[in-house]
Amino acid sequence: MSHDHSILPDGQLSGDTEDPRPMSTWMIGFCSIVLLAVVCLAVAAMYYGAVHRETKRKVVSVRSQSAQLMREARQLALEQDPHWEAWTDVDGELNGERTLKVPMDQAVQLVIRNYGTQEQGTTP
């Protein structure tokens, strides 16, 4: 039996210039593609997560500040002394009815004083 010396021991022909073991090249290429995809998805997730957190923080902080200002204005309105409010037009003439603004705690006391002495079971 004669041996053909043109065939190298690893199965490669003597004039062949291609990669003798293509599996390692394919695995490195495949792993590189997977790694690139994972890095791109991670960067996109971090970006959109940061945008979402920033948007949520801005919306919540703006609403809470306006709500706090509104609560403070209502608190100041409740602490005012009783006073009459009248709505006038541009000429200074009364437009509508005059209304009496009474703080809440005083209004509760007035209601208790006027309607709290009735007996239970009777209709006003």
User: What is the pTM (predicted TM-score) of this model?
Assistant: 0.35
21-62 tens-digit pLDDT:
678 888 999 999 999 999 999 999 999 999 998 887 776 555
Q: Which two tokens stand for residue 87?
A: 């709505």
pLDDT given at position 13: 65
Domain residue ranges in the chain: 21-79, 81-115
Q: Residue 110: what pLDDT?
A: 82
DSSP for 1-12 reads ----TTB-TTS-
Nearest to 98 by CA among 83, 87, 107, 106: 87
Which pLDDT tens digit goes with each residue over 66-79? 888 888 888 887 77
Q: For the chain, what's the residue count?
A: 124
Which position has the higher pLDDT, 26 or 7?
Answer: 26
Taking the CA atoms of the chain, what radius of gyration do you get in angstroms? 43
